[in-house]
Amino acid sequence: MNNKPNIVILFTDDQRFDMVNVIGDQNIITPNLNRLVAMGTTFTHAHIPGGTCPAVCMPSRAMLHSGRTLFHLENCGTSIPETDITLGETLRNNGYYSFGCGKWHNGGESFNRSFDDGAEIYFGGMCDHWNVPAYNFDPTGKYAKTIPRCPDPMGGKKVIQQPCDHISAGVHSSELLADCSVNFIREYDREQPFFLYTAFLAPHDPRVMPEEYLDMYDIDDIQLPENFMGAHPFNNGELHIRDEMLADFPRTPEEIREHIRDYYAMITHLDVQVGRILAALETKGVLENTIIIMAGDNGLAVGQHGLMGKQNLYEHSVRVPLICAGPGIPANNQSDAAVYLLDIYPTICDFLTIEPPDNVEGKSFAPAFQGKTTERDYLYLAYKDCQRGVSDLKHKLIEYVVDGKHSMTQLFDLKNDPCELNNMAGKPEYATKVAELRAQLFRMSREWDDQELDLGETFWQAIK
């Protein structure tokens, strides 16, 4: 192969920023992700901007692959238009062989533009992890076959129809995608460098995994988060979405401990699969010449603030893991730079000295690898038409509009209150900070074209 580095992106589903042992919750077992942290640079304040629909992972993935900002996506990211050149397309156009497997939430046409080949492709949001309805790569881009008797993704007895080529019955999704990735690495024999995109379905619910991983955690040892609540203290505009129905109301300590245990176990099982991919790269002799990027599409509350899902702007839902390792990237290094996942695209272009296409709106964080400042001073956050926020990583302001009315303002001191428990918005000594962040919120709403679309128009009519 030539001297260009291979690119591997490992993308997980619903993995919160602190779900890596050495940089977050030390109760979770993640030796392979720990190894990846030691190999490279971890971004401790990577975020997504939020979501324009309850399936937050859909716009998140569209932003990753297009480099577009939240309000410049097509139909919440259900597809990526031809005018938006994807990351895979850019790499293909610059000599890379591109292979994709796993979850693709952004349409078959854009998948085929992005990849030369692929396997175990899942065009959906969630599924039964033991029975993944998957596609083989179709060069024509016509992914329309239907196999009946596909198991209900919630694990019930209901039988549904789902478009797919085959159902990988009895193989857990994490193992299925690791198998696919390992086989690709082992069999790859081209001279050109490769781009491997592995999009895991875990740890998204239903949270199931081989029993041995569940047995690694004693439920009596599971600690409740500091911001555990039986219920969210006010109506945030999205309290009864599907994700919030995964636990009873009010939340009980016993039930939340079970959910946390299952979350841990599923991530530990996922971690083992990441280790298999790293081992395959090592055995192939290409690990030293491969840039590996591990990230999650969004976070998850799992009992924090009385919430279960990701349909909110708290840190547990918009802050994500991001680890980069490989040639030119400092090892055992951390950066607290403010970055979005949509910044990964131009950063890869920076590393390869490729000019990103005009559609890319992300900002390269390559300077952070040398300890230099990046371009983002503030992060703009949004969820549907009911929540808007802005953060400078020291303080965060969140505004709420419910039933067409401005219902709540929150201000959190993130340095002294990382669990976002104490609302400082009404305290006189924080009035200047509220005014400063509110001014940034209005400025960035215009910069992001938020006020031009229906969702933004509904929110800003009430907030003004």
- The pLDDT tens digits of the residues spanning 275-317 come to 999 999 999 999 999 999 999 999 999 999 999 999 999 999 9
Interatomic CA distance for residues 82 and 201, integer angstroms:
26
Predicted pLDDT of residue 361: 98
Residues of the chain with pLDDT under 50: 1, 157-160
- Is the Cα dihedral 102, 14, 70, 40 positive or negative? negative
What CA–CA distances, in Å, run from 6 to 271, 281, 288, 289, 295?
Answer: 21, 10, 10, 6, 17
pLDDT of residue 160: 47
Tokens of 233: 């203290």
379-463 CATH, one of 3.30.1120.10, 1.10.10.60, 3.20.20.60, 3.30.565.10:
3.30.1120.10
* Domain ranges for the chain: 6-370, 379-463
Q: Assign residue 306 a region (left: φ > 0; alpha: ψ between -120 and 50; beta: otherwise).
A: left
CATH ID of 6-370, from 3.40.50.300, 3.40.50.720, 3.40.720.10, 3.20.20.70: 3.40.720.10
> Would you state the pLDDT for residue 341?
98
What's the pLDDT at 365? 97
How many H helices and E strands in the chain? 11, 20
Q: Which residue has the tokens 């951390």?
A: 334
pLDDT of residue 151: 52
Q: Three-class SS of residue 131?
A: strand
CA-to-CA dists, residue 396 to 119, 342, 386, 413, 447, angstroms: 41, 21, 16, 7, 19
Q: What is the pTM for the complete model shown? A: 0.96
Q: What value, to the nearest 5°, has the Cα angle with vertex 17 and ends 15 and 20?
A: 80
* Residue 153: predicted pLDDT: 52
Q: What is the pLDDT of residue 158?
A: 47
Tell me how far apart the alpha carbons of residues 344 and 311 are, in angstroms, rounded to a whole number.
23
31 preceded by a cis bond (ω within 30 of 0): no
